[in-house]
Chain A
Amino acid sequence: MTATSAPGAPSIRRSVSSRTRDRQRSGSRRGVNILIGIALLLVVVVQLVPFYVTLTTALKAKSDLSSQWAFPFTSVFWGNFQTAIQDGGILRSIGNSALVTVIATALVCLIGSLAAYPLARRQTRLNKVVMLLIVGLIMIPPLSVLVPLYSLLNQLHAINTYWGIILVLTTGQLPLAIFLYAAFMRSLPLAVEEAAVVDGANLLQVLFYVVFPMLKPVTVTVIILTGVAVWNEFALSSYVLTDPSVKTIAPAIGAFFSSQSSNLGAAAAGSLMGVVPVLIAYLFLQRYFIKGMVAGAEK
């Protein structure tokens, strides 16, 4: 690397020799490219196989013993979806999930952005400690507090309630949201807020008219991360939501699957129905999804 700053004869000679080597190698390089292409194709196929097999299984009657690899072109059977809806309550669970996800995500955005503002803008020793503790909460594995959390919810009569699971999942997603909001706020120029203060705006006016409108990019990230996490949450909700009328989609599919172990077609149909909402969102918002996930990962 250091040699590049001093372009002398030796480095030129080396570059010429490497170029001739490149020409000699171009045949093998094309071979390498083809191999890489085949390997990539293989991984892509592997990632799609579960979806394909689930689809073929869902579209076949229990009596149809043809291979899972074979697509039932001639005799598509829709009865499994009917079973999943009637016996598994899958549609009801999708509705429950939508409710829980929307409210929890809205709460995370609101409480998270409010909390992040003082932590980003007023970095006293106390606030630095608070921030550190909040980030530390990300480490708590949900199942490690299963016993105390469940008995707490039981005392609060929050088992099998929407508000119980919403508050639990909101708390679980808040630390990451606060962290992302605070990091984003620190990157915003202070001058805009100062100008508003000079013009006589109070704290709430600064927040709602000046700061919050600038938070759109990070809010998209928080919505996607929180929305996907809450929609897919299973570990805690499978214990907190046991009543079919309030069950969200992940525990509903888990329970339906274990009750239908002899009727895998119906389990497959239920799984597909649970995936479709996320797939549709991904299809339309793909760019935001990947950008958001990177932002969330690089915390």
Chain B
Amino acid sequence: MTQATASRPAAQTSIGSAASALAARPPGRRRRGFGARGSGLINLLYLPAVLLFAVFAVYPLISGVGYSFTNWDGYSPEKPFVGLENYLRLFQDDTFRQVLGNTFIYGIGSMVIQQILGLGLALALDRPMRGRGAARAIIYLPVLVSPVIMGTMYYLLFQFNNGAFNDIVVAFGGERVAWLSQPSAAVAIVVAVNSLQFVGISMIIYLAGLQSIPQTYYEAAMLDGAGTWQRFTGITVPLLQPAFATSIVLNLIGGLKLFDVIKVMTNGGPGYSTNSVSTLIGITYFENQSAGYASAMGVVLFVIIAIFTLALNALLNRRRLEQQ
């Protein structure tokens, strides 16, 4: 490594090119920062981090793949090898298929709601008005609350007896509704709770994006007679591309990983009907004692999230490049 760096001066100069341009140093002088110098000993600084990653992230990831080829029960010493049986079982498992569907609903549903609501809020709060700071702070507030606590709070609203929403229903002469006992309604409620809790993240990302657009662009467009809608589609949307990419990826992954809110609001029920893959892994491991099968689910969840992340990043970044 030492020789390799020494023979690549071009790579070194690029590190601090901006700084050197400002400093206007005499030509030919060698840079003497630690990064540019030969010794690879400096890499020892990331040893503690790499050790932690090796033990608590990479090793579990790899041994998880190993467990997924066994029908280990989670506690006994022997782990009988069964090959691909767990993966074949996943394909035929109706419960898993339903739970996988739920996971996509949680991910895509939350993502769509958060983009629409988040962008709308950002556009509304980008204009000067009274109470703007307070509105932003309040809409953002739930982001900081533990999703377990948020779920508990919303459970109070949706409960059957004496719940705040049923109070409204009764006040209008209706019958009490068992909101969380109907699978599809419960899934929709979980999506709504997750979306509302984290809409502040999208809002803040879009606000930052809006503020980075120079006001002169809008003034120029107005001089050219562009209407509100034309200005929005012609200037705002294309220049918000990086914000779209960030917010979409972040919210989609957050929804696909959803665990806490489901756990407190429905605990996956009724039956298995509102589980996500994440909550089902916990149940399969600890309640059904099928550690091997749960590992296979974990591998599938990881692969799904990795594919979504990489594909979305590639897609959204390419669109950004095309627009430049």
Contacts and interface: CB of A to CB of B under 8 A. Distances in A.
Interface in A212-270: 228, 231-232, 234-235, 238-239, 249-251, 253-254, 257-258, 264, 267-268
Contacts of B217: 1
Contacts of A43: 117, 121, 139
A50 B144 contact: no
Given A114-B48, A147-B295, A197-B33, A47 B57 contact: no
Interface centre among B1, B33, B208 (most CB of A within 10 A): B33
Interface centre among A15, A119, A258, A271 (most CB of B within 10 A): A271
A278 B144 contact: yes
Interface residues of A, number: 110
A58 to B, nearest CB: 9
Instruction: Give the secondary structure class of B's interface.
Output: helix
A198 B281 contact: no
A76 interface: no
A80 B79 CA distance: 47
B151 to A, nearest CB: 9
Contacts of B302: 139-141, 144-145
B67 A144 contact: no
Given A1-B224, A47-B196, A258 B267 contact: yes
B264 A145 contact: no
Interface in A53-103: 53-54, 57, 65, 67-69
A298 B285 contact: no
Contacts of A278: 144-146
Interface string A119-151: 111111111001000100101111111111111
Contacts of B259: 142-143, 234-235
B305 interface: yes
A172 B56 CA distance: 9
A102 B136 CA distance: 28
B48 A115 contact: yes
B60 interface: yes
Interface string B212-247: 000001001111110100000010000000100011
A170 to B, nearest CB: 7
Contacts of B40: 122, 124
Interface residues of B, number: 115
A149 B59 CA distance: 9
Contact of A111 (B20, B49, B250): B49
Contacts of A279: 141, 144
Given A4-B223, A121-B34, A144 B164 contact: no
A152 B59 contact: yes
A48 interface: yes
A239 B282 contact: yes
A139 B11 contact: no
B64 interface: yes
Given A48-B138, A69-B167, A274 B224 contact: no
A38 to B, nearest CB: 11
Contacts of A116: 46
Given A54-B156, A146-B282, A170-B52, A189 B19 contact: yes
Nearest to B2: A124
Interface string B157-192: 101001110010000000000000000000000000
Nearest to A53: B164
A15 B225 contact: yes
Contact of B281 (A143, A203, A228): A143
A282 B144 contact: yes
Interface string B68-83: 0000001000000000
A149 B56 contact: yes
A104 B151 CA distance: 25
A46 B164 CA distance: 13
A231 B146 contact: yes
A141 B133 CA distance: 34
Contacts of B67: 147-148, 151
Nearest to A272: B149
A9 interface: no
A122 to B, nearest CB: 4
Contact of A232 (B147, B222, B295): B147
Contacts of A258: 264, 267
Kindly list the 5 A-B residue pairs having the minimum CB-CB distance in the complex, ordered from nearest: A121-B35, A190-B16, A14-B225, A232-B146, A115-B46
13 contacts: A15-B222, A44-B138, A111-B49, A121-B42, A122-B40, A146-B285, A152-B63, A191-B23, A232-B145, A235-B260, A274-B146, A275-B146, A298-B208
Given A68-B167, A142-B259, A250-B146, 5 more contacts: A139-B302, A145-B64, A193-B33, A235-B260, A282-B144
